[in-house]
Amino acid sequence: MTITHAPAPAPEVSAELPTEAPEHERVLITHGPRSGLTIIVAVHSTRLGQALGGARLWRYGHWTDALADALRLSQAMTLKNAAAGLARGGGKSVIAIPAGVTLDEARTRDAMLDLGDAVESLGGAYMTAEDVGTSAELMSVVHERTEFVCGLPPEEGGVGEPADATAAGVHASIIATLDHVYGSPEVAGRHFVVAGLGQVGGRLARSLAAAGARLTVTDVADGKRALADELGADWVEPGDAHLVEADVFVPCGLGGVLTPDVARGLRVRAVVGAANNQLASRDVATMLQRRGIVWAPDFVVNAGGVIYLDVAGTPGADQASLDARIAGIGDTVAAVLRSAGANGSTPLEAAELLARDRLDAAR
Ligand SMILES: NC(=O)c1ccc[n+]([C@@H]2O[C@H](COP(=O)([O-])OP(=O)(O)OC[C@H]3O[C@@H](n4cnc5c(N)ncnc54)[C@H](O)[C@@H]3O)[C@@H](O)[C@H]2O)c1
């Protein structure tokens, strides 16, 4: 499809938008009638099945930043769902909170109703769920307007939030990466820098600490120092986290964290984290490889959440098969790193190849 957007004076547009999005099947940009907020639903691919991806409620300088985010994130969901072996396509929705606006409860609810209408208008091409800025409770508001939503609260018959599964998948990926790098999967005694102690990062910091890891942690929210104290972890300021000498850097905040500067400054053997779209640009994957730093591709590592939403929502699903699927993320990471090593490619290229093979097989 082609996105047509009028040229605007440069200072007003801060995101680099493609003039065409030929790979996206559908992109809906709408002005929520109740909330007055810009809502974008990007369906990248339904080749493997209904597109599945969360709804992000986030602050953007300009609505085109939100559009660029939705285009990138939905594309990554296609790769993530394919690499995870799900019969799901890739999509994402983004609700843009303009600079200087704070949403109260009523307007947040309106935004979710608007999102529900937008999702419903796509007739089932896309299923939404919680993501950064949204929650199981907010998904139950979306559910007032559409059936195409998952991750509803358990008391409403839903499967709840997927952060436990995501954190478990990242933990499995860390073990696989340690084995690849050091020839031993042992977490105990290894030093991890966890950047971002939210839903996933907080759980992961706990599971790593329980496994005997040494932790240095950070968050832009100072209140997270309490968790650092509880776990006996060292605290570092967010801007210095990548400079800590350690075994593994674990980005669990927002995307774009691996800039060329960060890649040059890292003093670890591996990067394995939950954050989506960690690479600020593709060439960072090559920079990391040249520095001998193993990057486990984010869209493989953090697939626990979608696997959970897909598998737990299927009638008859049991915990054992779900656990096996989550643990399988570690096997996929190991296979991707092996294949990258054997072919001299970056782990990014190896993971994309795995996903593309599955997409091609579905043609
Ligand atoms: N929740 C899931 O199941 C899930 C699934 C797949 C991917 N992810 C991705 O993992 C990341 C974390 O998700 P979450 O659900 O834990 O989100 P969250 O909002 O609960 O937590 C993010 C945390 O990171 C902190 N943070 C933001 N920028 C930071 C920075 N520059 N340095 C340090 N800390 C920073 C925030 O203050 C917050 O505490 C996101 O990129 C998300 O898209 C989450």
Whether the per-residue pLDDT at 353 is higher than 90: the answer is yes
pLDDT tens by residue, 237-250: 999 999 999 999 99
Can you tell me the mean pLDDT for 187-204? 97
Whether the per-residue pLDDT at 235 is higher than 70: the answer is yes
Q: Are 274 and 147 in contact (CB under 8 A)?
A: no
Distance, in Å, from the CA atom of 138 to the CA atom of 142, rounded to the nearest integer, reads 7
Q: Does domain 163-361 have CATH number 3.40.50.720?
A: yes
Options 3.60.15.10, 3.40.50.10860, 3.40.50.2300, 1.10.1740.10; which CATH number does 10-75+90-156 get? 3.40.50.10860
pLDDT tens by residue, 16-57: 666 665 689 999 999 999 999 999 999 999 999 999 999 999
Poorest-pLDDT segment among 77-81, 254-258, 311-315, 319-323 = 311-315
Whether the per-residue pLDDT at 301 is higher than 90: the answer is yes
In ligand 1, the atom with minimum distance to the C-alpha of 167 is: 3
Q: Are 48 and 101 in contact (CB under 8 A)?
A: no
Amino acid at 282: R
| Number of Cβ within a 10 Å radius of residue 135 | 16
Q: Which residues have CB under 8 Å from 358's CB, separation 6+? A: 48, 82, 83, 85
As a whole number, the mean pLDDT across the chain is 93
Pure H helices in 2-104: 63-83
CATH topology agreement for domains 10-75+90-156 and 163-361: yes
Ligand 1 centroid distance, CA of 361 (Å): 33
pLDDT tens by residue, 176-187: 999 999 999 999
Residue nearest to atom 9 of ligand 1 (CA): 275
Concatenate the DSSP letters of all residues of 227-272 into one string.
Answer: HHHHHT-EE--GGGGGGSB-SEEEE-S-S--B-HHHHHH-BSSEE-
In ligand 1, the atom with minimum distance to the C-alpha of 133 is: 19
Tokens coding 285:
């994957």
Of 77, 132, 261, the residue with max ligand 1 atoms within 8 A of its CB, to mutate for a pocket test, comes to 132
What does the pLDDT read at residue 234?
Answer: 98
330 pLDDT tier (thresholds 50, 70, 90): very high
Strand blocks (E) in 14-125: 26-31, 38-45, 51-52, 55-60, 89-98
What does the pLDDT read at residue 307?
Answer: 96
Ligand 1 centroid distance, CA of 132 (Å): 7
- 49 labeled part of a ligand binding site: no
Please name the helix (run of DSSP H) or strand (run of DSSP E) that holds residue 192, with its range, or none: strand 191-195
- 3-class secondary-structure state, position 219: coil
What does the pLDDT read at residue 315?
Answer: 79
Distance, in Å, from the CA atom of 73 to the CA atom of 79, rounded to the nearest integer, reads 10
Q: What are the C-alpha distances in Å from 126 to residues 31, 43, 50, 55, 148?
A: 19, 7, 6, 11, 7
Ligand 1 centroid distance, CA of 59 (Å): 14
Cβ < 6 A, ligand 1 pocket: 131-132, 162-163, 166, 195-201, 218-221, 224, 238, 252-255, 274-276, 302, 305
80 is catalytic: no
Ligand 1 centroid distance, CA of 275 (Å): 6
Of 79, 164, 218, 254, the residue with max ligand 1 atoms within 8 A of its CB, to mutate for a pocket test, comes to 254
Nearest Cα neighbor of 95 from 78, 121, 122, 70 is: 70
Q: Which sign, positive or negative, has the C-alpha torsion 315, 309, 127, 76?
A: negative
pLDDT tens by residue, 97-150: 999 999 999 999 999 999 999 999 999 999 999 998 999 999 999 999 999 999
Residue nearest to atom 5 of ligand 1 (CA): 305
Distance, in Å, from the CA atom of 47 to the CA atom of 130, rounded to the nearest integer, reads 23
Catalytic residue among 80, 88, 92, 143: 92
Q: Are 296 and 177 in contact (CB under 8 A)?
A: yes
Nearest Cα neighbor of 219 from 193, 194, 251, 196 is: 196
Tokens coding 315:
């009638």
% of the chain with per-residue pLDDT over 70: 94
Q: Where in the chain are the domains? A: 10-75+90-156, 163-361
φ/ψ (deg, to 5) at 42: -110, 120
Q: Are 15 and 67 in contact (CB under 8 A)?
A: yes
- 319 labeled part of a ligand binding site: no
Write the DSSP symbol of residue 290.
H
